[in-house]
């Protein structure tokens, strides 16, 4: 029986390798994007994603969103967000931050890490805009960044924030004017504590904070941001009731859930699976409003066995 779903498409998946020639290093980027090629469950490390590997991107041009993971984290743990956005007309790129990830955390707590993170997001944008297979499909004026925890620091720095080390040293970074909107999930905003650090951040912000966040509590997130940005009306603030700092990560497979593995834990009674059936749509609606993407018409026909 044939069904036509004009507003639902599949998720393509590619892995790019981005080079930082100044440092002589490279890092992987997982890219999800709209495709008409049917998907299938595919393993990426311990995670299963329903994607079509190396499929052709659907015809058209799409906004670009980059997701910056947390300190010593993984670019693979925002798959519930990335797949949802890709199926609805976004290209989503998730870099694994060099020297600050689950496999290699040698740059943690260093000024270099504060400098490299935003730079490597910009390099990823450069690569995607020039990529032979994906570049022509990117809308260069419709670029957003999603950041969780330390990834929230990264997004604020790209948006024009002036960061400072814990010892009070200003960090020299290059903002990226191509970024037009940011989503901050439990962001590490304390790096912008000195007055005047966020006066250049003048773009739409979706700020999501967790009610029970021991790592980035309200006084170190929303209070700093709302006090310092030039136009607080551009900030949409939402507090997620009963959520914890790690609740913004996609649900982990049962074998990885462990009370000693903090990223898999939530406050008692919090349903992360249910939350991640709502969170991607919240982000999608914000991005649609803020980036104002062009109407996307993708016609898809496939067989639905019954």
Nearest residue to 69 (alpha-carbon basis) of 187, 125, 184, 148: 148
pLDDT mean across residues, the chain: 92
Chain segment 79-119, per-residue pLDDT in tens: 999 999 999 999 999 999 999 999 999 999 999 999 999 99
pLDDT score for 5: 35
Nearest residue to 193 (alpha-carbon basis) of 214, 221, 215: 221
Per-residue pLDDT averaged across 11-20, rounded? Answer: 97
pLDDT score for 219: 87
Is the pLDDT at 303 greater than 90? The verdict is no
| SS3 (DSSP) at 118 | helix
CATH number of the CATH domain containing 268:
3.40.50.1820
pLDDT score for 294: 53
Structure tokens at 87: 């199926």
pLDDT score for 71: 95
Q: How far apart are CA 261 and CA 263, in angstroms?
A: 6
Give residue 42's domain range.
Answer: 2-303
Overall number of domains in the chain? 1
Q: How far apart are CA 124 and CA 118, in angstroms?
A: 10
DSSP 49-115: EEEEETPPPPSS-EEEEEEE--TTB-TTTTHHHHHHHHHTT-EEEEE--TTSBSS--TTTTSHHHHH
Which stretches of the chain are assigned E, i.e. beta strand?
A: 2-4, 10-20, 25-35, 40-44, 47-53, 62-68, 91-95, 138-148, 179-185, 205-212, 235-244, 301-303
pLDDT score for 8: 53
Phi first, then psi: give them for residue 22, nearest 5 degrees. Answer: -65, -40
Nearest residue to 206 (alpha-carbon basis) of 270, 282, 277: 282
Give the CA distances from residue 161 to residues 34, 142, 158, in Å, rounded to whole numbers and listed in that order.
32, 20, 7
Give the CA distances from residue 305 to residues 1, 3, 28, 61, 302, in Å, rounded to whole numbers and listed in that order.
6, 10, 37, 31, 10
């Amino acid at each position: 029986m044939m069904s036509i779903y004009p507003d639902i498409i599949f998720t393509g998946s590619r892995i790019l390798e981005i080079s930082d020639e100044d440092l002589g290093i490279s890092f992987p980027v997982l890219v999800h994007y709209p495709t008409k090629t049917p998907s299938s469950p595919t393993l990426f490390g311990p995670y299963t994603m329903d994607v079509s590997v190396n499929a052709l991107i659907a015809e058209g041009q799409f906004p670009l969103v980059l997701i910056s993971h947390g300190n010593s984290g993984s670019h693979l743990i925002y798959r519930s967000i990335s797949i949802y956005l890709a199926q609805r007309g976004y290209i989503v790129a998730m870099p694994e931050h060099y020297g600050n990830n689950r496999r290699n955390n040698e740059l943690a707590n260093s000024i270099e890490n504060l400098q490299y993170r935003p730079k490597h997001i910009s390099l990823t944008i450069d690569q995607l805009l020039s990529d032979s297979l994906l570049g022509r499909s990117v809308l260069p004026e419709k670029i957003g960044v999603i950041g969780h925890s330390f990834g929230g620091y990264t997004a604020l720095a790209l948006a024009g924030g002036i960061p400072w080390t814990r010892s009070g040293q200003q960090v020299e970074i290059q903002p990226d004017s191509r970024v037009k909107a940011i989503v901050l999930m439990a962001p590490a905003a304390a790096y912008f504590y000195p007055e005047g650090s966020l006066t250049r951040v003048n773009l739409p912000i979706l700020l999501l904070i967790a009610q029970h966040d021991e790592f980035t509590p309200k006084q170190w997130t929303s209070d700093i941001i709302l006090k310092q940005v030039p136009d607080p009306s551009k900030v949409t603030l939402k507090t997620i009731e009963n959520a914890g700092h790690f609740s913004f990560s996609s649900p982990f497979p049962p074998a990885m859930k462990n009370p000693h593995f903090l990223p898999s834990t939530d406050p008692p009674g919090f349903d992360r699976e249910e939350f991640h059936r709502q969170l991607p749509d919240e982000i999608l609606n914000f991005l649609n409003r803020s980036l104002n993407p062009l109407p996307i018409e993708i016609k898809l026909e496939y067989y639905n066995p019954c």
